[in-house]
Amino acid sequence: MPDPFNNLSALEKRLGISPQENSELNGSRVLKAYEFAKLAHGDQKRDEGTAYVIHPLRVALILLDDICVADEVMVMAALLHDVVEDTTKGIQEIKDSFGDSVSDLVQALTRVRVYPESEPHKFARKGDMFDWYIHEASEKVRLIKCADILDNMRSWAYIPDGHNSEKKFRRWMREAELYYMPLAKLTHPFFAHEIAALVEKYREEKRFAA
């Protein structure tokens, strides 16, 4: 039986149901955003080997199912949050397709990548970014970011032994403790609990403690 966490077709069915069950959400606009993200991410893969689009899909479902977000703009932005950062699509295309409210959230969630970038430099730049999230970002941005963090952290458990990303585990744990947990505590009790629990879980695993 497929693992529900990585079962794309099952997750797609959940997205198709969730907006239609909530009268405050326009299901067709949400599904349009998902199709846009799916096309943009194309054949990209996650570190755990799944189709990349499964990540923004799960982020949107966290908002819908776990904290009962009824704001279609937030759900659409969650689905699109990595499109500008990780594909060839630009923010103007998001704006033209989905409007200013969605594109503004996507822009706020987009990290400008610098190449090449050492692990210490990336850690420092993320510190500046999370300082902005904590002190200046809107509640909507913080909620989407926390859903993004939570799904990424859940996915760490699925990264195969020996994968190149294992060299990043130490930095990821430091970021979780110094950046993610304070943001989650500020943002929502659900995220504060879930992210803290994952930090404790991974502390007990040798490959994260190394």
pLDDT digits (tens, 9 = 90+) for 178-200: 999 999 999 999 999 999 999 99
Q: Is the pLDDT confidence value at 21 over 90?
A: no
Taking alpha carbons only, the member of 175, 194, 151 closest to residue 48 is: 151
Q: Are 209 and 86 in contact (CB under 8 A)?
A: no
pLDDT over 70, % of the chain: 93
Confidence of residue 19 (pLDDT cuts 50, 70, 90): very low
- State the Cα–Cα distance between residues 207 and 210, nearest whole angstrom: 5
Q: Is 200 a catalytic residue?
A: no
Q: Is 86 a catalytic residue?
A: yes
**What pLDDT score does 102 carry?**
99
- State the Cα–Cα distance between residues 186 and 139, nearest whole angstrom: 10
pLDDT digits (tens, 9 = 90+) for 86-116: 999 999 999 999 999 999 999 999 987 766 7
pLDDT digits (tens, 9 = 90+) for 46-57: 999 999 999 999
Beta bridge partners of 45: 51
Domain range for 89 is: 4-209
Total domains, the chain: 1
Query: The CATH number of the domain where 45 resides is what?
Result: 1.10.3210.10
Rounded to 10 deg, the angle between the 139-156 and 54-61 helix axes is 120
Given 85, 96, 139, 205, which residue is catalytic?
85
Given 47, 66, 71, 86, which residue is catalytic?
86
